[in-house]
Structure 1
């Protein structure tokens, strides 16, 4: 069944409307040499370019729908290159990670303390983002860390803990134990769906990438609101996890994020499996 150009253009327009505010704002800031302490992370930490994010491409599961339209310039340019063995290895790894996370219960007891553990027992000069003021004095931050259980399960958050904070964590996550430790209650594991989706573009299509990007936007705002940094002047009112009420608020928002993430995680797993099934001869 051939898809008319007008339908293609509509889908691309709908996609761009979802991602253009953040993507174009980042490009404009970069051109002016400006930085945003919250939103730039989505383009500097995650290795997926604004241009790719702005481009709408159908996924492999839509290939029959679009097969007759291969002469469309944009589609032809990005029309499903044969994945390399390393791409398929990545797809298998991501599918396994998604499956593992979905199979275990989510945990909601970390209270977002990872950002606080990244500044624990540091002087002002040592703090990585010291251009932004902290909401509490260093002593109060240390008291909070020492009064609450540290139970971070995410390696890429844990690896930025200060040396004094590292042994306080209940587990010591590593790259090798990611499949064992990661779980669906983790804000960063849910944000990382965007990272994993980007690694399998264009085969998984842009709709799923946009879904994971929107999830990462929600997670990033929540992460910074729960951090020790005072970003209220930028519109990020704090989640005061130094109080019981703030920790309860964080748990609620954490649960809401997980409820959004798990269906997307399942779709990403299925997209990985579809990619593997579509290119069996390339797997060696």
Structure 2
């Protein structure tokens, strides 16, 4: 067990908080004013980790923090360190997660979905029924429906597919469920990339917060692409559309997917390594 003195771990904790505050602070300010942001709020409203939890730094299992009363009573901790008994109690999570991560990494990347999942989530809805009703559909209702009907929908991610409208769900060529994620998820999927953040914070406090923050930053950047390719008109928020209904837009989207798949691969590998390390405890 490595022991980190108070001055050292306080510096690491402060640096971590400062790193994520560039995104957390604006969210908290908007929340205090009841202002919604369809792009930047997602990581705090869809995922269960709260801003305060993201800001709190953890060294991960194997490091003890000296003179750390701030960590007394936190989940998994005793005497400034995550305990082996807590790690052992998370064996089901670790086993399930490493299976999903390995399966996703082993599957060929699919760059042909073109972000149609967001379009399927508004298919045949009136504009005041959409999730982000404060923002208009770029092509209007009829134009949006036409895009959905003229494309092959092949969403492999259950947590995106489950939000398809009832009319859109039968159009999907795949039928992922919550129980068979390892059979479908693939490394080019934007939601699989964003979910690396979810997987990382579910492993907290057993893994170091640097990895959690790396996954958070990837998810933040992916979300921007996700919504730029969505049917909403977000120009007033500073997001130029990726017009995936056109050949040029499809090419732009697929190239961005390749970049994010490349960024996500080493993070996925690091999460696998951490799961394997913790399973050996």
The root-mean-square deviation of aligned C-alpha atoms, in Å, is 1.8
Residue number in structure 1 paired with 2:150? 147
Residue number in structure 2 paired with 1:123? 126
Q: TM-score, normalised by structure 2?
A: 0.91
Which consecutive residues of structure 2, in runs of 5 or more, have no partner in the other structure?
Answer: none
Q: How does 1:84-233 map to 2 (within 5 A)?
A: 87-233=90-236
Instruction: Return structure 1 stretches of 4+ with deviation > 4 angstroms.
Output: 75-78
* 137-146 or 235-244: bigger deviation: 137-146
The count of residues paired between Structure 1 and Structure 2 equals 273
Distance 1:20 1:167 in 2: 41
Larger relative helix fraction:
1
CA gap of 1:142–1:86, structure 2 versus 1, over 3 A, is farther
Deviation at 1:133, TM superposition (A): 0.6
Which consecutive residues of structure 1, in runs of 5 or more, have no partner in the other structure?
Answer: 279-284
Deviation at 1:128, TM superposition (A): 2.8
Residue number in structure 2 paired with 1:44? 45
Is 1:11 the counterpart of 2:7 in the alignment?
Answer: no
Residue number in structure 1 paired with 2:30? 29
CA contact (8 A) 1:155 1:178 kept: yes
Residue number in structure 1 paired with 2:56? 55
CA contact (8 A) 2:103 2:182 kept: yes
SS of match in other structure, 2:180: helix
Distance 1:80 1:173 in 2: 35
Q: TM-score, normalised by structure 1?
A: 0.90
String of CA shifts for 1:210-235, please: whole Å, max 9, x gaps. Answer: 01100110111111111001111111
Distance 2:180 2:249 in 1: 30
CA gap of 1:84–1:58, structure 2 versus 1, over 3 A, is closer
